Amino acid sequence: MGEQLVIDSEYFKGVLRASERLSDSVDALDFESPVTHTYNPLRYAWSGHRSYLERFAGSRKKVLFMGMNPGPFGMAQTGIPFGEISMVREWMGIEENVTQPEIIHPKRPIEGFSCKRSEVSGSRFWGLFAQHFPVAEDFFADHFVSNYCPLVFMEASGSNRTPDKLTAPEISKLYTVCDQYFRDLVEALQPDWVIGVGVFAEARAKKSLRDYSLNIGRILHPSPASPAANRGWADQAENQLKDLGIW
């Protein structure tokens, strides 16, 4: 692995402040039934997230990728966006101790880097970039990845509930906080492009960044729940990046 980026850079400090504000702001929100449990990996998995920022957020970026919210076996375990454990450990060179959420859903334990489940979305997502950039630092020289919302929402059954399925009042408060994080991140990293990973993230980018002069695009979300993503996601995403003129 390459050397860690210098953490006294203004880019790193800006992203760090944005992440800390986001974590505090979402912790102040309340969510009602059918949401029974909410995990904030920026709190209990902060060590992993901060290591990610220290290593990769220390410079201006050309492209900012933005996902929706954490998956149960990715960022929920590692604190890193699309944080499939083997990719984080072996490609990024990050492995940290992770604590526990205050209230744990019995069907969604947090095992941190000991988790044996693989996050398919993360494996596909980071796998594409690792194929083109065998050294992670080469990818992060011009690219950065975050999630619009840092929270994991679960119902009593343990099933995932995405942010767009919350109640209207909850959505209004949550999106206000997350839109501000989006703007903070753009101001910190000064990207030329913001790429939504999926339709949702692209829509939030266009809404929250409408006063900013930058390019906004989209790639297909790598979720296995998407039939399109199960038909060669990597080739489709690469072609989309080429069509946008990014690659």
Mean pLDDT of all residues in 120-124? 97
CA 136 to chain centre: 16
What pLDDT, on the 0 to 100 scale, is given for residue 185? Answer: 98
pLDDT > 70 fraction of the chain, expressed in percent and rounded: 97
Asked if the structure places residue 145 within a domain, the reply is yes
The rounded Cα 126 to chain-centroid distance in angstroms is 12
Q: Is the pLDDT of residue 15 over 60?
A: yes
What does the pLDDT read at residue 232?
Answer: 97
Q: Where are the beta strands (DSSP E) in the chain?
A: 35-39, 63-67, 143-147, 152-155, 193-197, 215-219
Residue 3 lies in a domain: no
| Higher per-residue pLDDT: 79 or 4 | 79
Whether the predicted pLDDT of 211 surpasses 90? yes
117 pLDDT higher than 60: yes
DSSP 58: S
Q: Structural domain tally of the chain?
A: 1
Other beta carbons within 10 angstroms of residue 103's beta carbon come to 9
Rounded to the nearest integer, the mean pLDDT of the chain is 96
Residue 5 lies in a domain: no
pLDDT at residue 2 in the model: 41
In a domain, 123, yes or no: yes
Per-residue model confidence (pLDDT) at position 32: 96
pLDDT of residue 5: 53
Please state the rounded mean pLDDT for residues 136-143. 97
Is 29 contained in some domain?
yes
Residue 194 lies in a domain: yes
pLDDT band at 219 (very low <50, low <70, confident <90, very high): very high
Give the confidence band of 158 by pLDDT, cuts at 50, 70, 90. very high
Predicted confidence (pLDDT) at residue 55 exceeds the cutoff of 60: yes
pLDDT at residue 7, as a whole number: 67
CATH, residue 195: 3.40.470.10
What pLDDT is stored for residue 1 in this prediction?
40
12: CB partners within 8 A, 6+ apart: 5, 6, 53, 54, 57, 58
**Does any domain span residue 4?**
no
Does some domain include residue 218?
A: yes
Strand partners, 218: 196
CB neighbour list of residue 189: distance below 8 Å, 6 or more residues apart = 11, 14, 15, 57, 60, 61, 64, 144
What pLDDT score does 239 carry?
Answer: 98
Domain that holds residue 93: 10-244
- DSSP secondary structure, 144-185, as one string: EEEES---EEEETTS-B--GGGS-HHHHHHHHHHHHHHHHHH
pTM over 0.75: yes
**What's the CA gap between 208 and 146, in Å, rounded?**
15
> Which residue pairs, CB below 8 angstroms and at least 24 apart, start in 98-106?
98/44, 98/45, 98/47, 98/48, 99/44, 99/45, 100/44, 101/37, 101/39, 101/40, 101/43, 101/44, 103/37, 104/37, 105/36, 105/37, 105/154, 105/158, 106/158
